[in-house]
Structure 1
Amino acid sequence: METTPDPSADLPVEERAAATLADLAGWLHVHLNERQTLFRVGPAGVNVLGLALEPADLPERPEVDALFLHRALRLGDRFPELGVLNAHDGFDLQLTTGPNLRLAGRLGWREVRPLFWQGKAAGLTAIPPQGEWRAFHTALREELRGEDRSWGPDDPSFVRLALTNAMNPGLLGLAHRLGVNVYLTGEMRPSAQETARSLGLGVVALGHRRTELWGLRQLARELEEAFPGLRTEVYAGGR
């Protein structure tokens, strides 16, 4: 039985694939402001990219052409046939808690402003489209797929939020002075809870791993949009 020749069969692999490993590494460098994004070289062409936070989250045999790992140092000699991409500091800063403009965009937050603490970017302040605490809290939980712990503000009739990568009395006080009444962060710090309650702030501890997984899903969406034809697989390690 005769078959129709594939005109792309004679093209180099990087021309036939949805992306090359170098393309993806360059995109991560630019869009996450990460200095070193190629952790291990591998075959150039990439049609399926697997994304995970760490090697322990990967299946025994991922059916992908290359990997992205947030924490790649423990990979060792596993999957020697695959190229591996990596982003750590830029991923944490832009895709978890902190100045996460992507999350602000996904949830339609307005009047988004950077929040600095001790000379460093610590997060942002914003106003969500929901006019009160309950509706805002519901939308946030749906987007992040849950939370660790929370309580509402003394005045639940409005929400001005801060999304930050730390929780301490000084940062809580700064947020309060900026008109914030709901404080979002990754981990609840027991030493700062009394300060938050004394200021009348609502607090949502989203969960460190949960926000990282949100960042991984968001990164997958952006890569598929940037490289038409690229397919991504997000591995959450069954958690």
Structure 2
Amino acid sequence: MTTLRTLLAFLTPRLTIPVEASYPQRQPPLPLLFKNYGPPGVAESSHLDHPINSIHFALEPPQSIQSTAADPPQPPSANDRFPKTDALFLHRPFTLQPHHIHPRTTCVLTSHEPFDYMYAGGAGSVGMASLLGLCTRQACVKLVRQRERGGRCIGFITHLRSDCTGEVEEAMGQDGETGDARGLLDTVATVFGGIDSIHNTPPGRPPPSSAQQPKIALMAALTPPLLAHTSTLGVSVYITGQIRQPAREALQRDEMRGMCVVCVGHERLERVGLRVLAGEVGVMFPGVRVSGEW
């Protein structure tokens, strides 16, 4: 039988930023929000022994249409509530209200920055990298630090798994299908369900051939200093969530012309990460019904 205790024992190390990531304020262990809305903290033993037969994953609470001051207040509708589930996992719980939670739900598990680091394009996102056909062997992965934010790890550089010359695949994450660089953009579009924008790749021109063993960066942010740093490291393809104007302008410089930047969209990045995490829970606890919004 799966209990809240065993579920937390599985999730907590997967949603904890490692010390070597150099984050100035390390996040606490996976917070719990109970229906009485007390402060997040350690659960009582009676809560920890509660059986978990189902868990639902979502990025955030439902976004209801807000009434204007002239409108009469509207009662919550069925669309404002998560489905019946024993446990609920939220990435962004900041707008959570009591009416969002089904009466049968025991607790809400939340993780914001650690989830981004471990699953949504951050330096620990080996499950996402595996889906993209990237090599996740420790010997092949180079962490990238964001110098303007105290040297914290913000992503990593690797290459396609099909280009790996290692005789043994010492996988950090789950295995996936191999591929070549020419199909990388197709793989990215398939995994994320679309691409917001591609920069520095003329229409019809494929990514570099696999014979070149291109370096691929999977990053949780896109800034001019990160672009300059990864460019000096020889990155050919930079995969991230969204682009802002300073990075857009930096990409116009001549020294950046050889780097293809693929922006899949911030929410797409998070939803794939949510799917990877939910998949891990489903494999570890086959008797638990796993559902989600991805």
Same fold (TM over 0.5): yes
Q: Contact (CA 8 Å) 1:115, 1:121: kept in 2 or not?
A: yes
Q: Which of 105, 114, 121 in structure 1 is aligned with 2:143?
A: 114
Q: Which of 277, 289, 294 in structure 2 is aligned with 1:219?
A: 277
Measured in 2, the distance between the counterparts of 1:54 and 1:61 equals 10
1:35-114 to 2 correspondences below 5 Å:
35-40=29-34, 44-56=50-62, 60=81, 62-78=83-99, 79=101, 80-82=103-105, 83-99=107-123, 100-110=125-135, 111-114=140-143
Q: Which residue does 1:150 correspond to in 2?
A: 198
Q: Percentage identity across aligned positions?
A: 32
Measured in 2, the distance between the counterparts of 1:161 and 1:122 equals 14
Measured in 2, the distance between the counterparts of 1:103 and 1:156 equals 20
Q: Contact (CA 8 Å) 2:84, 2:104: kept in 1 or not?
A: no
Measured in 1, the distance between the counterparts of 2:235 and 2:82 equals 47
Measured in 1, the distance between the counterparts of 2:82 and 2:266 equals 27
Q: Which residue does 1:231 correspond to in 2?
A: 289
Where structure 2 has 5 or more consecutive residues not aligned to the other structure, the ranges are 17-27, 36-46, 64-78, 163-178
Structure 2 residue identity aligned to 1:139: T
**What CA deviation, in whole Å up to 9, does each residue of 1:130-166 have, x standing for no partner?**
443x411001111111121113548932432212122
**What CA deviation, in whole Å up to 9, does each residue of 1:83-134 have, x standing for no partner?**
11111111011111221111122233122221112111010001123443x4
Structure 1 residue identity aligned to 2:215: R
Report how far residue 68 of structure 1 moved: 0.9
**What CA deviation, in whole Å up to 9, does each residue of 1:19-77 have, x standing for no partner?**
21222223221111151332226681111111111111776351322211112232222
Measured in 2, the distance between the counterparts of 1:55 and 1:187 equals 22
Structure 2 residue identity aligned to 1:156: P
Q: Which residue does 2:159 correspond to in 1?
A: 127
Worse overlay, 199-208 or 188-197: 188-197
Give the structure with the higher percent strand: 1
Worse overlay, 95-104 or 148-157: 148-157
TM-score, normalisation: structure 2: 0.68
User: C-alpha root-mean-square deviation of aligned residues, in Å?
Assistant: 2.3
Where structure 1 has 5 or more consecutive residues not aligned to the other structure, the ranges are 1-16
Q: Which residue does 2:236 correspond to in 1?
A: 181
Q: Contact (CA 8 Å) 1:48, 1:232: kept in 2 or not?
A: yes
Structure 2 residue identity aligned to 1:28: L
1:159-174 to 2 correspondences below 5 Å:
159-174=214-229
